[in-house]
Structure 1
């Protein structure tokens, strides 16, 4: 059987922000938003990325599409290293790599009509023009559940769910291969979230899309993802299939996250004991050696505060960064 080749490979990706202070920035300090993260995404799959707010999920997503310039490591797309390409050379990859943003209103230019917003990428990449371009915009609007007449309206005339649909149509306008979905449903009403997720799944099946799906709603990530990565303070803690992660979480942080998912059955809810995390969250600014989670881990050992655990494959396809797991 032929081995699958990854569409996207992240190799030891780092993104640090300079937060140095003092006269002439003499007190050097760096916020380690993404620190030595590696994983692959295969064509046609959905890779879910979860973790608490501030763990570096969105920064990683923006680094993948080069909205943020990586501090270190490599981003390899379809076999090509795009880490240090110039903005000019990145243009051909911008068509293949697109992003859906968390805030559907802030990500849309309020001065442009929906037609102009969706058509911007089409013009930039010279895909269609004239009537062909207009028909393409109408088709995209219908694809995401909007109407032709919406093309002449402005973003403020739509609800949050409709704005997110416009954002999705904009990302699909250039016919991408991989879409980074940066918490695309977190700003929407619960009743709308399921509609948008179902639409994303339908679009994936129809267009052969690959997703990096970033979210903090674990139940939704389980529904849409093939594999899931768990991040904590810039580090990857665990990677495995969606089924395996929920059936057999190995990292203490993953176990705590899963225990917090509400269960609709009251009897089962009483049986399943929630893990309460105690202790202080480590600062991501110039973090010390050791496991980032050690200050909140109930199983913390001496080695956890001294040596940073490597992400190891402990079972086929199941990777964990924890000294406790052998």
Structure 2
């Protein structure tokens, strides 16, 4: 043992390794110094949020929709911190459900891993779980983590689309994200004193979907999922007793769903039409789905004619924007005819 110990003590690092680690130490020291200076600058400008929040902007207090995220010196730091939080979430899920797939997913979530698709899937799960478990939507942690999740998902999609066509697995992840968040937005809560909380959660999830919709491949699928949900709720309400406890919640959900379509169309339809990856078939599909949803709402006119009025306004907005964009006028003639009727 003494001989082995003496060999370990006398085994000095080579000059090449010493230079390598010295360079790394200097680089890390410069990085820390630069981040400290940037932090002081942001604090002096009053941009940082109160209470040491992990996000520097008031996500749910700002209705302005920007085309892309602001490039800041904190982007990389926030990304690494967000991935650590996602790994913690994956670890907790792994403890409750055993299986090799959850273990494999966690191993892929390395900060230096290039598997963007796997990171996208885990980030989507993280965001949906966050919305499922939130009890107070005004909580600062919910705003911070949901904002970072949205930014990370959008950046991942842009990264994937920049390397070519979206794969089927990514399309499945996006479709799952749209369906799960739309379902969460319409989830019925039972019990006393939950009406206000339910309404707040609805608007917060709507805001998340509106932000995510800035990316065309997400926005198209969100509108499709929303229009299909409207048709289902309209059919359900047609045979529902107005005195049922679920009636007011379905009534509220219909309005917030139609409003979300209006937001996405007015905010993004023109910009979507100018992209190279504009999904014409998907656009025609959700336009047809919206027209079908209008027919379902027209059957409810005897109960509330405002549904049809609101939906007609949204369809009129779509027709107006299609008329302004030359690329959108090359669509299926039957779809255009039904839209402009």
TMscore range, shorter length:
0.3 to 0.5
Q: Which one has the bigger strand percentage?
A: 1
More helix by share: 2
* TM-score, normalised with respect to structure 1: 0.33
Q: Greater relative contact order (Cα 8 A, min sep 6): structure 1 or 2?
A: 1
> Which structure has the greater CA radius of gyration?
2
The TM-score, its normalising length taken from structure 2, stands at 0.32
